[in-house]
Amino acid sequence: MKRVLLKLSGEALAGDKKTGFDEATCADAARQVKTLVDEGLQVAIVIGGGNFWRGRTSESMERTKADQIGMLATVMNCIYVSDAFKTAGMETEVYTPFVCGAFTELFSKDKAVKALDEGKVVFFAGGTGHPYFSTDTATALRAIEIEADAILLAKSIDGVYDSDPAVNENAVKYDSITMEEVLDQKLGVIDLTATIMCLENKMPLAVFGLNEENSIENLMKGEFNGTYVTV
């Protein structure tokens, strides 16, 4: 693969603290990505906002406002993690679909692809810029726009299961599954909109646990312990 979009779970970045950032987890993700960038892989990143805010669980707030707070949570995450990547020796750019003063660049496909071609790690923050769309949808959209070869889905769980392993101790993990099967079985790997976008645009996924040792590097070396979602 030449170009990938790595989706990092906000909850996974929080580590055992479950909120905010776990510095060691972020630094380790940066170390692994640098190894790949040094080998010539182009890496774009989307980060969820669940370590700060999960708007869909807020019943006392209007959905649009809750989603706007979630978008800002992803901006905070990308600014923090991009700085960790710079500390690890990489050049980065953070793009948002709305103006954030001097904090970020306004998203443009041409600018983002140019930055990737220059060897920079590109962060897509702020979701799609609209309510009612999750960071899953933003991940699928940006991956398709930049013509990535695959989406790497780094989560707090180590793959795709036939049921929730946190609830069912007998849940079975798939080594490989098709996007159609994900839809038919309503497995919720990514949200429905993102799943259909990936299916229509033939965008495969690799789902794995961020907190497993060297999980990002191992994926690219073919030493994969997660789930391939094929199209």
Beta bridge partners of 6: 45, 152
**Best CA proximity match to 65, nearest among 131, 135, 138, 133:** 131
Q: What single string gives the DSSP state of each residue in 29-72?
A: HHHHHHHHHHTT-EEEEEE--TTT--GGG-TTS-HHHHHHHHHH
Q: How far, CA to CA in Å, does 33 sit from each of 84, 89, 158, 197, 204?
A: 11, 11, 18, 26, 20
* pLDDT computed for residue 51 by the predictor: 87
Distance of alpha carbon 164 from alpha carbon 128, whole angstroms? 28
Average pLDDT, the chain: 92
Q: What single string gives the DSSP state of each residue in 201-225?
A: TT--EEEEETTSTTHHHHHHHT---
Contact 46, 79 (CB under 8 A): no
Distance of alpha carbon 199 from alpha carbon 227, whole angstroms? 16
Low-confidence ranges of the chain (pLDDT < 70): 55-58
Contact 82, 94 (CB under 8 A): yes
* pLDDT computed for residue 14 by the predictor: 84
* pLDDT computed for residue 45 by the predictor: 97
Helix axes 109-117, 135-145, angle to 10 degrees: 70
Q: Which residues, at least 6 apart from 197, have a Cβ–Cβ distance to it below 8 Å?
A: 137, 140, 141, 144, 203
Residue with tokens 């370590």: 51
* pLDDT computed for residue 157 by the predictor: 85
H or E element, residue 178: strand 176-178
* pLDDT computed for residue 58 by the predictor: 63
